[in-house]
Amino acid sequence: MIDYGLADKVALVTGASGGIGRAAALAFSRSGASVLVSDVNEEGGRETVSLIEKAGGKAVWQRCDVSRGDEVKAMVAAAVAAFGRLDCAFNNAGINSIAANEYEDEVWARSLSINLTGVMLCMREEAEVMLAQGGGAIVNTASINGLVGNPSQPGYTATKHGVVGLTRHGALRWAKAGIRVNAVCPGVIETPMTAPLIANPQMKQVIEGMTPMGRMGKAEEIAEAVVWLCSDASAFVTGHPLVIDGGATAI
């Protein structure tokens, strides 16, 4: 893994109890950053903290439901209280209502509150700290479904399109203040979220067949891109939805 030179930096990761979020928290730590680990899953989140500490890194745990403004404010404050500043933020928490009818009122509202409102609330609080300290980098988790259509997931697709829009908004709003805002747009990645899909060998084969590279992505491959987007190696990159999909949207 590449060291992106984040020594003395502080990173915040939501949805960090597993999957892409955990992989990103570990990648931030390997590059030298202290990490605020957040999720609604306390057991998984504390396990992520333990993995970082066992590897010699620094991390703290803070539970946060990103759909609640008070909890988001407390999460960002906890990062500053623990480490003194906030340099990098990865707004990764989200849900995918694969088995549900997203046109149902409750399912639609939950998708919207977590996937879209949650990103907005995080950006708002993170930017306030970064503006006061003179800069920072924010990365949001969108999806290839934030760039193309999907006939079966209206809520997920709409919210991820919204995340791309919020990302571009933030990039323009804070560009001159030294805050860069980007998004990652993963294809189908092997994570706990996609486990129900790939549990069926035939479905897994179909998904792999839809990807020109012939396989699903790994959480660590998304994490590397996230840390790069938060590092000085991407100093002139902002407002960009970075597609990481094995060529799926190139078809």
* 190: its two tokens: 């092997």
Contact 144, 158 (CB under 8 A): no
Amino acid at 169: H
Task: Write the DSSP symbol of residue 117.
Answer: I
SS3 172: helix
Catalytic residue among 28, 83, 90, 156: 156
Active site residue 156: yes
Which segments of 17-117 does DSSP mark as H helices, in order? 19-30, 42-54, 69-83, 105-111
Distance of alpha carbon 1 from alpha carbon 141, whole angstroms: 21
Catalytically active residues, by annotation: 156
